Structure 1
Amino acid sequence: MANTFTQIHIQSIFAVQDRKSLIKNEWRDELYKYITGIIQNHNHKVLQINGMPDHIHILFGMRPTQSLSDLMKQVKQDSSKWINNKKLVIGKFSWQSGFGAFSYSKSELPKVINYIKNQELHHTSKTFQEEYLQILKEFSIEFDERYILKSVL
């Protein structure tokens, strides 16, 4: 798109189905590289990726050539197939439906990058559900808690 100039920074957050802790340290970095490749193959730029065994955070610069929903569908679909094809979990791996997406100005990026880098430390005092609800409230997003995160089985 000639003469189209944008600066769109998105943090996307999504969880493993039923918030099970299935992402293992042994293959987590490889998963992050694979997801980074998916996003970059769609001409977007990953700025930071990290997470916990039950969820993931991705901060990326987004080009206006694709909808956010289509990109997240592709990321979740392709990474699930990758995990399942490599048989990295017992049974079938899938991501929970839906995702959170939050936009940031360029001046906020260092803070968000640091936040994502330090997920392990952050989650010593706060659960994923507490974290996610706090972010929704900080962004003044109306929600019904019944539909936010499925209960762990």
Structure 2
Amino acid sequence: MSWVRVYVHMVFSTKNREPFLNSSELKKNVFQHIKKNAEEKEIWLDCVNGHQDHVHCLISLGKEQSISKVAQLIKGESSFWINQQKLMAERFIWQDDYWVVGVSESHLESVRKYIHNQEEHHSKQSFTDEINVFMEKYGWSFIKGK
């Protein structure tokens, strides 16, 4: 029997970072649905939360799961569900890209706390500033022309 435990912190945003997730009730419904859908797809979604224009997920990848496939299953199905439920006046779509970093077991609690405290966090820091911090911390740079 194989045993795998690889945690990743995934972040993805609404198309053009539009603040579509602008009410507590809407966010609650979307995040609950993402959690339920992940469970149905056998994706171990430890926690999910976000702010008006983006979502954070702490995920433990299964032995046959890739980051791109998990992102596709979570983002694709949730945007389909949001549109099917007519939760927005206009068509909803997630941005194509996403950000993912590995999380060591020793940092799981701090990442969970960070994800659960998104409202408080974004009262002090914008999503753009957050991205810039991630990019600097992990040595990422924007790839032009893609």
Q: Which residue of 1 aligns with 2:20?
A: 22
Is there any run of 5+ residues in structure 2 with no aligned partner, and where? none
Q: Which residue of 2 aligns with 1:31?
A: 30
Quick one: structure 1 residues 146 and 129, their matched pair in 2 at CA, closer, same or farther if it must change by over 3 Å? Answer: farther
Give the 5 Å matches for 1:68-79: 68-79=67-78
TM-score, normalised via structure 2 length: 0.91
Cα deviations by residue, 1:54-77 (Å, 9 ceiling, x for unpaired): 100011111121211011111111
Look up the equivalent residue of 1:16 and give its one-letter code: T
Q: Which structure 1 residue ranges, 4+ long, deviate > 4 Å from structure 2?
A: 145-148
Matched length: 145
Q: Which residue of 2 aligns with 1:138?
A: 137
Q: Which residue of 2 aligns with 1:11?
A: 9
In 2: Cα distance, 1:25 partner to 1:87 partner: 17
Is the 8 Å Cα contact of residues 43 and 70 (structure 2) preserved in structure 1?
no
In 1: Cα distance, 2:5 partner to 2:145 partner: 31
Cα deviations by residue, 1:23-82 (Å, 9 ceiling, x for unpaired): 132221121111112222232222211100110001111112121101111111110111
In 2: Cα distance, 1:147 partner to 1:101 partner: 21
Percent identity for Structure 1 against Structure 2: 26
Matched, 1:118 2:117: yes
Look up the equivalent residue of 1:119 and give its one-letter code: Q
Q: Which residue of 1 aligns with 2:97?
A: 98
Is there any run of 5+ residues in structure 1 with no aligned partner, and where? 149-153
